[in-house]
Amino acid sequence: MAITRPLAQLGTNYPWIHRWIYYLAAGTMYAAATLRTAIIFRNDPLLGRILLLLAAWLFLIIGDAIFSPRIPWLTGIVLVMDSGLIYVMLLITGQDFFAFLFAILGMRAMRQVSPRVMAGLIVLFVILTFLALIGSFGLLKSLAQALIYSGLAAFLAAYIWSTRQAGIIQQEQQALVDELQQANRQLEYHAHQQEQLAAGRERQRLARELHDSVTQTIFSMTLTTQSALLLLGRDRVQMKGQLDRLDQLSQSAMAEMQELISRLAPQAASGDFVTLLRQHLDNRRRMDDLAVTLKVEGDQSLSPTEQTGLLRIAQEALNNVVKHAQVKQAFIRVHLEEPFWMEIEDSGCGFDKKQVLGRERMGMVGMGERAAEIGWSLQVTSSRGFGTCIRVKKRTPGEKHP
């Protein structure tokens, strides 16, 4: 799964570049105003007062930059005071270049206020510049000067606004990247959980396969071996027959083990369900002397998955008949049309479901799991002395798992 890189590695929008552009522009305009003041008023008694006003203006700007993060309302006071200082310098000198400083104020304000508030400040800058210069330049020229300097302030403020918006967008993008990284980690965690769950299901499936096939054969081998031991020294002819059957069972167990090893996933058996079921019943008759009566109604086909699941359920149910029912007969009824169902019934000794614990329950649990996997439901009916009936039924659309 891909790992998301930090946003700083993906983009080129470096905030420090914009900060230094702001400092450079502000410093250049302030230096230009100071230098021109020194040149124009070098022999004028006003020079000292103007430089003092410029120093006070700069002191307020620097103080605002330092303290405004902790005192948000300080910026408004500084804007009013600095605007007043610029107005005074414009008024007492009659020089228009001090209006440059309004542009610096605009850039400073735009870093915190909204565009609507900034538009109001630009109008204020126009009015202050116009009123301060009208006595020196006349009506039209002072208006033109006010519009020129205020236009510069508006342009620089718009640049600061665009960088401010870029910073906000960058933060939002970084937040999205962080969310994606978190989601990525969660997906990796869930994927790991799914892998563990799949491994557990595979182990459970192989355990069911072993229980449903090889276990029964080994059980039959154990009974045959015990019979052979009882006949040892008594009836060698019958003992030879038991040993021959033991050999057949061992070969059958080996074949079943090889089949299980060769397949990592369950494969659908070849042939239709009824034919495969009859073949299995023939094998049970030959191996376990179990006579099973089969009754089939309907001829609709089953999916390969359903076919495999039902065969395994029938196989496990017959295993239980051989092991526990103490009878040699069983009945299977298959209904291959709506509603689809299958029953395996015996008239043996039966059992109390509440008292069946431990390994003896594995067969019933496995049958229930197989039925659920193919979309069927399983019901076991049994009581002591009245036999057992196992019924699996295909669930209809919308029917919940019991």
Whether 220 shows a pLDDT value over 80: the answer reads: no
Helix 100-110 vs helix 15-40: angle between axes, to the nearest 10 degrees?
Answer: 160
Percentage of the chain modeled with pLDDT above 90: 13
Lowest mean pLDDT of 132-141, 181-190, 245-254, 307-316, name the range: 245-254
Structure tokens at 248: 């057949």
How far is CA 20 from its chain centroid?
A: 41
Could you tell me which residues come within 8 angstroms of residue 131 by beta carbon, excluding any fewer than 6 positions away?
A: 87
Binned at pLDDT 50, 70 and 90, residue 402 comes out as low
Name the E strands within 76-172.
Answer: none
pLDDT in tens, 125-179: 889 888 888 888 888 998 888 888 888 888 888 877 888 787 788 888 888 888 8
Q: Do the beta carbons of residue 268 and residue 305 sit within 8 Å?
A: yes
Whether 336 shows a pLDDT value over 90: the answer reads: yes
Which pLDDT does position 361 carry in this prediction?
55
Pick from 53, 114, 118: nearest CA to 79: 118
Q: Do the beta carbons of residue 293 and residue 331 sit within 8 Å?
A: yes
| Tokens 């076991």, residue located | 380
pLDDT in tens, 76-120: 888 889 888 988 988 888 888 888 888 888 888 877 778 888 888
Which pLDDT does position 268 carry in this prediction?
44
Whether 8 shows a pLDDT value over 80: the answer reads: no
Binned at pLDDT 50, 70 and 90, residue 71 comes out as confident
Q: Do the beta carbons of residue 313 and residue 371 sit within 8 Å?
A: yes
Backbone angles phi, psi at 388, to 5 degrees: -140, 140
Which pLDDT does position 213 carry in this prediction?
61
Q: Do the beta carbons of residue 371 and residue 377 sit within 8 Å?
A: yes
Residues of 211-250 as b/e, b for ≥16 C-beta within 10 angstroms?
bbbbbbbeebbebbeebbeebeeeeeeebeebbebbebbe
- Listed by start position, the domains of the chain span 11-181, 213-264, 269-397
- Look at 211 and 154; give whichever has higher pLDDT: 154
- pTM value surpassing 0.75: no
Average pLDDT, the chain: 80
- Spatial separation of the C-alpha atoms in residues 186 and 317, rounded to whole Å: 43
Neighbour count for residue 93 (Cβ, 10 Å): 20
Ramachandran bin of 332, using left for φ above 0, alpha for ψ from -120 to 50, beta for the remaining angles:
beta
Lowest mean pLDDT of 10-24, 319-333, 370-384, name the range: 10-24
Pick from 56, 123, 121, 133: nearest CA to 92: 133
| Tokens 């420090």, residue located | 16
Question: Residue 337: helix, strand or coil by DSSP?
Answer: coil
Which pLDDT does position 205 carry in this prediction?
65
Considering just the CA atoms, what is the radius of gyration of the chain in Å?
Answer: 47
Could you tell me which residues come within 8 angstroms of residue 50 by beta carbon, excluding any fewer than 6 positions away?
A: 37, 41, 89, 92, 93
> Max Cα separation, the chain?
143
Pairing of strands 329-335, 341-346: antiparallel
Which pLDDT does position 78 carry in this prediction?
85
| Tokens 């079921």, residue located | 277
Which superfamily, per CATH, for 269-397?
Histidine kinase-like ATPase, C-terminal domain (3.30.565.10)
